[in-house]
């Protein structure tokens, strides 16, 4: 056996405490700051604040994987459960070279609030492995996934903690996790993960759910602002699962898609871009860039184009104090997690921009994951119509609760969403009391 190399990623030694290199705010500090603001507004008891401000459980695992050339590499991964007062932990697993414990903590806390905002019976969890999977073969990624699943299996399960896809993981990854967990137990346990392929217990509508949910919240916001989606001009940053499907669904509502982008850059045409044609172009050329009849814009310029609705659907920390003042949209719909920094939030609020916060806007994904879990537990599968109708009911109710809180307490929509969510989790935690 080759000598194990302590925590290496593609030959580069990393330490477990290494942080992402970008000079962005630490998102765990941001998540705690957002919680503190809501706790203050709710006048939450000090003891409860101390409980909810930190994750309940954090597991760090260092585990070996045999690579294709026979070398043994050791990878570091995490699974964090922030809160399980309202039900099992729920949240994705991310494979990325910049994963850190702090990032996973923040994402797990956001999952607690997201599940509570839409009032589904889950707590919050998240996982991640420090790896750039694009540097690994499919067999190596499968080996890594199966061993990581084994390492975290003492704390996951359909009644404990239910992972799902996140950055660089997909339905195939979920199939491997489900299979590994089932092999350990000797029978098939499909409800241990969501986001699975349909043929092994996945749900119809899951692929479109995040974008569809975001569009339901936009329909509600358009009523509040008297800004019909039909004819509204929309810019979308990120043309992956959330962004590309949102573009299609918004175009179906009669909106004009004026700008789109992906990691290679953006395209802009004030007369409108046809999402079907842009998707075909991206399939052929690997990017939206170069799409005929459109001007090229950078991702920074895309955020500032003249439009009515801006949908960040790519990464964290995109709308910052440096560009928030230049944003022209009347509505910002956060399909991405954490795209707006707290400083930018304040600037947008002062400008009168109506922001639909991530824990509400992109909660359609976890809501249909909840439907997948319910279907798996009952071994009874719903039609796509039933799924989309139930999703609309949940998203509309969540929007109404958050908007009512925002009006009643005269706070911005993000603070309102946090207040709704934190109050629900605090009530559950309080009712259950402290054990022993």
Q: CA–CA separation, 194 vs 178, rounded Å?
A: 9
If binding is defined by CB under 6 A, does position 239 make contact with ligand NAD? yes
Task: Give kind and range of the element (H or E) at residue 202.
Answer: none
If binding is defined by CB under 6 A, does position 240 make contact with ligand NAD? yes
Closest CA to 259 of 200, 303, 292, 227: 303
Task: Give kind and range of the element (H or E) at residue 108.
Answer: helix 101-117
φ, ψ of residue 352 to 5 degrees: the values are 80, 15
Closest CA to 361 of 403, 320, 305: 403
Q: Which is nearer to ligand NAD, 275 or 365 (CB)?
A: 365
If binding is defined by CB under 6 A, does position 24 make contact with ligand NAD? no
Closest CA to 337 of 319, 351, 353: 319
Considering only 34-42, 60-68, 241-249, 375-383, which stretch makes contact with ligand NAD by CB under 6 A?
A: 241-249
How many residues of this chain bind ligand NAD (CB under 6 A)?
A: 20
If binding is defined by CB under 6 A, does position 122 make contact with ligand NAD? no
Beta bridge partners of 63: 75
Q: How far apart are the first and last CA of the chain?
A: 47
If binding is defined by CB under 6 A, does position 273 make contact with ligand NAD? no
CA distances from 412 to 37, 347, 432 (A): 12, 12, 30
Closest CA to 330 of 209, 218, 408, 435: 218
Q: Which is nearer to ligand NAD, 66 or 390 (CB)?
A: 390
Q: Which is nearer to ligand NAD, 88 or 312 (CB)?
A: 312
Question: Out of 114, 126, 196, 282, which one is annotated catalytic?
Answer: 126
Residues 6+ apart with CB under 8 A from 378: none
Q: Which is nearer to ligand NAD, 38 or 242 (CB)?
A: 242
Q: Which is nearer to ligand NAD, 79 or 212 (CB)?
A: 212
Q: Which is nearer to ligand NAD, 77 or 365 (CB)?
A: 365
Tell me whether residue 392 is one of the annotated catalytic residues.
Answer: no
Among 81, 256, 362, 401, which residue interacts with ligand NAD (rule: CB under 6 A)? 362
Among 33, 263, 298, 378, which residue interacts with ligand NAD (rule: CB under 6 A)? 263
Among 142, 179, 208, 262, which residue interacts with ligand NAD (rule: CB under 6 A)? 262
Closest CA to 391 of 421, 368, 370, 372: 368
Q: CA–CA separation, 112 vs 417, rounded Å?
A: 12
If binding is defined by CB under 6 A, does position 73 make contact with ligand NAD? no
CA distances from 188 to 136, 175, 181 (A): 28, 11, 8
Q: Which is nearer to ligand NAD, 167 or 224 (CB)?
A: 167
Among 313, 355, 417, 421, which residue interacts with ligand NAD (rule: CB under 6 A)? 313
Among 89, 273, 336, 416, which residue interacts with ligand NAD (rule: CB under 6 A)? 336
Among 261, 375, 388, 401, which residue interacts with ligand NAD (rule: CB under 6 A)? 261
If binding is defined by CB under 6 A, does position 257 make contact with ligand NAD? no
Among 65, 84, 235, 242, which residue interacts with ligand NAD (rule: CB under 6 A)? 242
- 3-state SS of 306-364 is CCCEEEECCCCCCECCCCHHHCCCCEEECCCCCCECHHHHHHHHHHCCEEECHHHHCCH
If binding is defined by CB under 6 A, does position 8 make contact with ligand NAD? no
Least Cβ distance, residue 315 to ligand NAD (angstroms):
5
Binding mask 198-237 for ligand NAD (x = CB under 6 A): ------------x--------------------------x
Distance of CA 110 to the CA centre of its chain: 9
If binding is defined by CB under 6 A, does position 238 make contact with ligand NAD? yes
Residues in contact with ligand NAD by CB under 6 A are 210, 237-243, 261-263, 299, 313-315, 335-337, 362, 365
Active-site residues, by number, are 126
């Amino acid at each position: 056996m080759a000598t194990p190399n302590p925590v290496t990623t593609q030959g580069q030694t990393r330490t477990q405490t290494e942080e992402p290199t970008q000079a962005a705010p630490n998102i765990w500090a941001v998540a705690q700051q957002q919680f503190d603001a809501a706790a203050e507004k709710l006048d939450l008891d000090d003891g409860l604040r101390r409980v909810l401000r930190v994750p309940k459980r954090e597991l760090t695992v260092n585990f070996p994987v045999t690579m294709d050339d026979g070398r043994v590499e050791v990878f570091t991964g995490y699974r964090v459960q922030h809160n399980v007062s309202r039900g099992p932990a729920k949240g994705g697993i991310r494979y990325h070279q910049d994963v850190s414990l702090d990032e996973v903590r923040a994402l797990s806390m956001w999952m607690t609030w997201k599940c509570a905002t839409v009032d589904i019976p889950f707590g919050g969890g998240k996982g991640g492995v420090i790896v750039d999977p694009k540097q690994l073969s499919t067999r190596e990624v499968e080996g890594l996934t199966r061993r990581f699943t084994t390492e975290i299996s003492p704390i996951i399960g359909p009644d404990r903690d239910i992972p799902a896809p996140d950055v660089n993981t997909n339905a195939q990854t979920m199939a491997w996790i489900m299979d590994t967990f089932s092999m350990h137990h000797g029978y098939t346990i499909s409800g241990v993960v969501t986001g699975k392929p349909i043929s092994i217990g996945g749900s119809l509508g899951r692929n479109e759910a995040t974008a569809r949910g975001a569009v339901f919240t936009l329909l509600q916001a358009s009523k509040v602002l008297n800004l019909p989606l039909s004819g509204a001009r929309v810019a979308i940053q990120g043309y992956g699962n959330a962004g590309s499907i949102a573009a299609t669904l918004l175009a179906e509502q009669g909106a004009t898609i004026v700008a789109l982008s992906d990691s290679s850059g953006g395209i802009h045409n004030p007369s409108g871009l046809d999402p079907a044609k842009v998707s075909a172009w991206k399939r052929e050329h690997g990017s939206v860039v170069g799409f005929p009849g459109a001007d090229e814009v950078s991702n920074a310029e895309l955020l500032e184009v003249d439009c009515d609705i801006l949908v960040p659907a790519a990464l964290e920390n995109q709308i910052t104090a440096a560009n928030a003042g230049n944003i022209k949209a009347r509505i910002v719909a956060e399909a991405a997690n954490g795209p707006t920094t707290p400083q930018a939030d304040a600037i947008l609020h002062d400008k009168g921009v109506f922001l639909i916060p991530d824990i509400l806007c992109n909660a359609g994904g976890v809501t249909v994951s909840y439907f997948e879990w319910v279907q798996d537990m009952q071994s009874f599968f719903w039609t796509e119509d039933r799924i989309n109708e139930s999703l609309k009911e949940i998203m509309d109710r969540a929007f109404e609760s958050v908007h009512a809180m925002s009006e009643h307490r005269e706070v911005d929509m993000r603070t309102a969403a946090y207040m709704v969510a934190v109050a629900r989790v605090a009530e559950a935690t309080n009712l259950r009391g402290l054990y022993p």
